[in-house]
A and B are shown apart, each in its own frame.
Chain A
């Protein structure tokens, strides 16, 4: 840690870990409900658990991205954050909005649009919150001594993410139009600008961990984010196959979304190549595992498993089935969950001055969570493929099919338990590191 104001990142990471824990709880509620044990139905019906589960995901990832930006931008720009107080106000308001939204979901207070369930009045608070965050980051960057490619790509991703939230706030009477713009937020976030954020954080980590020349890493960062946008923007078309939009989206969406894995493949090759090229052997091996892990698992989860059901002829049968949940879980985990855990693993020793990275808990956290998530993905795949054949091809009734595939949710819950043990160990280590402190400012030899 080189700047005192970087300490604010710690609290965003702490909020992130808290929300992740809650997300897991609601995931279990849904897993059990799918197995037939919906004992909590009167208090937490499935639609509440689902909205809480997905919204907590979005907020813990955003909180992680914000923490990453508060850590990375001062260092890259060589400038203290312009206002630490305002950053804390932003943190608290983010937590308050999140808590109100989540409580509201238990009392039928929501908007009922997948991923964008936050009710409209709270949307305005989100906008104010994000504007404050962006203001702090951008002013710090532009008043700083340096504007590196890494910091520009990261800031651009965050700025576009904020702008793209707005189309999701427009009301349409027509469900198709509503859905059309909802994907401008959801798709263009996760298969567009969030990849810029991921690329920016990944580039920063690779520069620090591998010691490869910044110019080389940043050149390839441009190529990767270029591939992301070229494939991902028109790849939005894979959401426009079957929602009342013209047929040309079948061709455009099919072609460009088939190209989307290229960006993730690029990311994986880039990370591995830089690691092999680098001569620096950073002692924080746990951060290295998460950094290489995110680039590889994102390629499998987002790239390959996305590709598996993105072609229109396949998607006609898989659209709206558990096959989507299979892809969704490994994609979000690999691309975004793991990059947040990577930046946390890298920054914690620097923020706290404690070098606990040579530690069996950290290694176990990495392997258990990944093996657990891969097992969960396999369980979703079995359930999803069985559902597609029984319901969509054989014509068996939805409810009968759900009974037949209950057993896969037992496997899902078991693997989710393994995953949760891994996450539990990660959070245990997070707590054991202790709080950030100014003494850590002097320990810079490896950061």
Chain B
């Protein structure tokens, strides 16, 4: 079998793949910048000092990843300059709606840390060995840093779930708020751009495969912790494929 073609710059990509890659990187970078802010807000509110420090460290890592991803996006002239200027605050970010506001409780923090940060990491892992070289070069470092975020989310899930029936019910409620939109975030099964990215080896999985991998990791963790949430039909009618948001009814 011949080696897949490797890409060094946006000009080498066809229109579908190029648009899909812009959309994906933009959504990851924007999600990480907003996630970083939500983490930072808990730096001096976490229930124990160590977790406050961890929240600050995770925030810094997310913002660092954002910087590296915006740097990649600057090579695509179709991305407006204000998007890749991480110093500038924008009104809109291509980030999930559950990150629009301050995460109201530590349970929400833990669930977002476990589930949404975990989902972002699943996508990033699928770009390991990507044929888009400038992206591939950043992946291992990001994954190395994300390992600690996953440990933090997992350990706190167990810790909270072990406290009481009430705590598990609270976790279940928070998971129901975050999981459906997170699963949509991977994109619809028939997204042509995402399928083009898989075909070219830029991402090693389709949206459906990513969802399956992610659920294969997450659901046993939740189950072992006694947090039981069924995955029902996803809210595709409210899903915007460009922003990757599920717009909540007013």
A binds B: no
Residues of A at under 8 Å CB distance from B?
none
Residues of B at under 8 Å CB distance from A?
none
